[in-house]
Amino acid sequence: MNTRYYSTLHLLNSSTVVAISGILRLHVAFLFAGLDPLIGVYFAYGMIVYATYTLDRALGCEEDAINRSELIGANKRIGILACIGAFFTGFILLARENIYLASLFPLVTGYIYSQGISFRTYSLKLKGGTGRKNAVIGLTWGGSIALIVSRWNSDTLTLVSIFLFFGLKLFINSTLFDFKDVEGDLRAGIRTLPIYLGEPITRRLLLGVCILLHTIMAVSVMVGKIRPEVAILFCSFLFGITFISVYSISFEKHAVGIKKYFRVIMVAGEIPLALISRSVLAGFFS
C-alpha cells in the first residue's frame, strides 16, 4: 500500500475513537443533568470533536512528528477538508437547537492550541508545557459539554459539577498520556508535567485531583445538583485510580501483548463499561 495513502487513512481515522468518546461523554452529562437523550445533538458534538482533533493532527508540530510517526507523509489537505465537513455538519445540527458557542469554542481553542495566533509583536499559543496544554484540554472538554447542557438545564451548580467532572478527568488523562510522549516532548523542548515535576510527584498530583473530583461529585449528588449515577461515578473513580497507579513511562516502554492497549482501554473503555454496569444495575433493581 502506498505510504502516503496509508498515512492519510491514519490521519482521517486517528480521531474516530475520541469522537465516539465525545458522544458518550455528552450522554453521561445528560444523565447527570437528568435530561432525555438527544441523538442528533450527540452526533453533532461528535462531529465537532472529530473536527477539532483531526485539525490538530493535520497541522501537527515538531513533537507530533515524533510522537505520531504514523502520520508522517499524510495528505494534510484531505485532513483539513474532512475537518471542514465534520465541523459544518456539527455546527448546523447544533444551530438547529440554538446552540452556537459550543461549536465554535472547541475548534477556535484547538486552532490556537495547535498553531497559535500572532498580532504584531504579540503571540499566543496554548500548546506548551508545565500543565498548560492539559489545562486547555480540560477546559475545552468541560466547557463545551457544559455549554451544550446549559441549553436545557441552567442550574449553575449542576453545570459547574459537569464542567469540573469532564474538565478534571481530561486533565488527568492528558497528563498521563504525556508519559507516553516524554521522548518527543524532550526533543521539542516542551516541559510537560511528567518532565517538569518528575513522575512520582506528577502521580501524587493526579491522585489528589482524582480524589478531589469525586469528592465534589459525591457532594453534588448529596445536595441534589446531579443525579445519583452510582455506577458511572464508581467506574470513573476505579478507572481513574487504576490508570494513575499503574501507568508509567516504564510501563509504556516495556508493555507487551494486551498491556500495549492498557492506555486505550483505560480511556476508551471506561464510559462503555460504566453505561453497561448502569444498565445491569437498573435491570437488577427494577
Task: Encode pLDDT of 185-194 as tens digits.
Answer: 777 777 888 8
Task: With residue 55 as reference, give the H or E element that holds it.
Answer: helix 39-58
d(CA 225, CA 228): 9
Q: What is the pTM of this model?
A: 0.89
Separation in Å, CA 25 to CA 28, 35, 46, 81, 273: 5, 14, 10, 26, 13
pLDDT for position 120? 64
Catalogue all structural domains in the chain, each as residue range(s) with its CATH number.
Answer: 3-285 (1.10.600)
DSSP state for residue 225 in the 8-state scheme: S
Please report where in the chains the cell 500548546 appears, as a residue. 127
Category of 222 on φ-ψ map: left (φ > 0), alpha (ψ -120 to 50) or beta: alpha
> Which amino acid, 134?
N
pLDDT for position 88? 95
pLDDT for position 79? 83
pLDDT for position 192? 85
Give the chain's residues under pLDDT 70: 1-5, 60-73, 113-129, 285-286
What radius of gyration, in Å, describes the C-alpha atoms of the chain? 19
pLDDT for position 251? 84
SS3 86: helix
